[in-house]
């Protein structure tokens, strides 16, 4: 098992130890003691799961206080390009993005602290995506940033004409016009 802090402070990639044999595999996708030891001390209160097909992009979403959420995300099946944007105004990496391939094959997980917009793009025929949240969903506190904001210049690794969005995600505001995430 390894926890690796990315270039963006607080954003941690988790690679579980996987035991495989002719019957299949086993791994711990979450162990409170290990995660606490790695500095991830969040009381997860809600698990979500989504099934999507190739080219579907969900995001970039977040919630503002008092319903901001930290998330532990992974792809159970298939492959996604998981993407986050640092919205923490006091952060030296404010406005920077980070992307990682999460798949059922690599079993990587990403811990996304509060203060980040999050989204993912399905790269396989279909993907089953799971995320644990440390706060409950609140429609009144949901917010987002348009995926193709030219200021952010995110590399989605796909021709943007092939991306499929929900109607809501197609009308999210640009980075400078989004609901501000305030810390503290």
3-state DSSP: the chain helix, strand, coil percent, rounded to 5?
10, 40, 50
Ordered strands of the 2-5 beta sheet: 2-5, 12-15, 109-112, 71-77, 126-133, 46-53
The Cα–Cα gap between 77 and 91 comes to 33
Enumerate the active-site residues. 61, 131
Q: CA of 89: how far to CAs of 56, 57, 85, 167, in Å?
A: 29, 25, 12, 28
How far is it, in rounded angstroms, from Cα 50 to Cα 47?
10
Say how far apart CA 59 and CA 149 lie, in whole Å.
12
- Residue 54's Cβ-count burial label (10 Å; 0-12, 13-18, 19+) is middle
DSSP 33: H
Residue 80 token pair: 């996604």
């Amino acid at each position: 098992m390894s926890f690796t802090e990315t270039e963006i402070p607080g954003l941690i990639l988790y690679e579980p130890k996987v035991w495989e044999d002719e019957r299949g595999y086993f791994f711990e996708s979450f162990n409170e003691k290990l995660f606490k030891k790695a500095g991830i001390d969040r009381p997860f209160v809600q698990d979500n799961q989504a099934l999507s097909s190739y080219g579907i992009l969900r995001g970039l979403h977040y919630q503002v206080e008092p319903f901001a959420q930290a998330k532990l995300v992974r792809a159970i099946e298939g492959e996604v390009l998981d993407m986050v944007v640092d919205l923490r105004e006091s952060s030296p990496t404010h406005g920077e993005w980070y992307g990682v391939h999460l798949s059922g094959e690599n079993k990587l997980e990403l811990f996304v602290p509060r203060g980040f917009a999050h989204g993912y793009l399905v790269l396989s025929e279909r993907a089953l995506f799971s995320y644990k949240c440390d706060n409950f969903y609140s429609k009144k506190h949901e917010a987002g940033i348009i995926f193709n904001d030219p200021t952010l210049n995110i590399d989605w690794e796909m021709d943007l004409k092939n991306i499929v969005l929900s109607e809501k995600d197609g009308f999210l505001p640009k980075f400078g016009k989004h609901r501000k995430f305030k810390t503290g």
